[in-house]
Amino acid sequence: MDLLNTLVEKGLRRETPTREEALAVLATSDDEVLDVVAAAGKVRRAWFGRRVKLNYLVNLKSGLCPEDCSYCSQRLGSKSEILKYTWLKPEQAAAAAGAGVAGGAKRVCLVASGRGPTDRDVERVSQTIAAIKEEHQDVEICACLGLLSQGQAERLKDAGANAYNHNLNTSEATYGDITTTHTYADRVSTVQQAQAAGMSACSGLIAGMGESDADLVDVVFSLRELDPDSVPVNFLIPIEGTPLAGDWNLTPQRCLRILAMVRFVCPDVEVRLAGGREIHLRSLQPLALHLANSIFLGDYLTTEGQAGKDDLAMIADAGFEVEGADTTTLPAHRADAAAAAGAGCGGHGGEGGGCGPCGDAAPADAVPAQATAAAPGAGPVASERSHADLVAVRRRGAGTDLPPNA
């Protein structure tokens, strides 16, 4: 179709589509979804080949957050039965990170719930970065700690953080509908602080929160203007005990259209297939690899993901290859610009957000909750299960005595 040919040509030139063209991608029918994937796949391969970058989440501090983000199981007033624990020790976090690196992860994302870090928290994270880098010198570190105060981005950069994640999540017009304890402008400011400090910026969105097509296009165009190196695309994980627990608004085909639209608008950026891919894309996950060039390996912050070995098998079966540590993620023009700015690496990272905490610190006397049972095995196919059965709360890895999924 003429629309797709035009978008491919624009993507190869790094030219921004019009809003009408982006909206038209989201409006295509299910009958056309393979055509949309094939077109956006040409843009993805032009800039990233058939490489897939693996990223691994380490939840440094879980739950007990004073922010009220509607999508988040760690929010103020959440009734979700998630793991709750205070800061992992540097050696604990390094051990968790090592499991991801052993599974093929090139980047480790260090996440902590909280409105934003205190200076003491920044020092804790700095010690954790040092512990990880001591064992895995070449691994990329992305910090995700919430809203930053003056000077904190520079301190994280000096400690060895390559990137900082803070997602915009949704359009500015609807941001107040999902969060009231901070603003959209607060999030934009934090991303800009990370960029000014010389870190590679990672900022993305959450789809499936009841937003319109126009909202999706608005947030993606805002991201294009903000120009992060990576854009994680999360699909809402409706976790019991959160205000959005009943919001099951996505089909696999719609998820593919959203990913394709993001790729057309952000052709040469690391597009990451993030939280919620397993429960919304389900058996169509391999098709998403033709659109995204980056995924999270294993589990998320408070929910379980696909088994790490199944992630690797999916990548291989789909004809893609895991990106090596010695390969620069971003195309040369972006990698060179990042190096000139001092970012120092070539690419980057919501339960509804692979990296995107909100809230405040856990009490100092809190202790990690301990898991009492192994993760549930694979069950019936999605069509035979209730929606709630598709979401499994994380009971292994960081904050437990059970080995992580990597």
Q: Say if residues 212 and 244 touch (Cβ distance below 8 Å).
A: no
H or E stretch including 109? Answer: strand 107-112
H or E stretch including 125? Answer: helix 119-135
Is 266 annotated to bind ligand?
no
The beta-strand segments (E) located in 255-301 are 270-273, 294-296
Catalytic annotation, residues:
65, 69, 72, 109, 142, 202, 272
Is 65 annotated to bind ligand?
yes
Here the tokens at position 362 are 């856990």
Q: Could you say which DSSP state residue 85 is in? A: B
Q: What angle do CA 22, 24, 26 make, to 5 degrees?
A: 80
Here the tokens at position 301 are 């912050």
Is 45 annotated to bind ligand?
no
Here the tokens at position 30 are 């299910």
Q: Measuring CA to CA, which residue among 165, 209, 208, 207 is closest to residue 187?
A: 165
Here the tokens at position 244 are 């959005």
Amino acid 130 reads: A
Transcribe 298-314 into DSSP letters. S--SSB--S-HHHHHHH
Cα–Cα distance for residue pair 287/392, rounded to 1 Å: 23
H or E stretch including 61? Answer: strand 51-61
How many C-beta neighbours within 10 Å does residue 92 have? Answer: 17
Is 255 annotated to bind ligand?
no
Q: Say if residues 157 and 129 touch (Cβ distance below 8 Å).
A: no
- CA atoms within 13 A of residue 67's CA, in its CB half-sphere: 26
How many C-beta neighbours within 10 Å does residue 285 have? Answer: 20
What sign does the dihedral 38-40-45-50 (CA atoms) show? negative
Q: Say if residues 293 and 269 touch (Cβ distance below 8 Å).
A: no
Is 144 annotated to bind ligand?
no
Cα–Cα distance for residue pair 307/312, rounded to 1 Å: 9
Q: Say if residues 97 and 108 touch (Cβ distance below 8 Å).
A: yes
Cα–Cα distance for residue pair 288/9, rounded to 1 Å: 21
Known binding residues for [2Fe-2S] cluster are 109, 142, 202, 272
Binding site for [4Fe-4S] cluster, by residue number, is: 65, 69, 72
Binding-site residues sit at 65, 69, 72, 109, 142, 202, 272
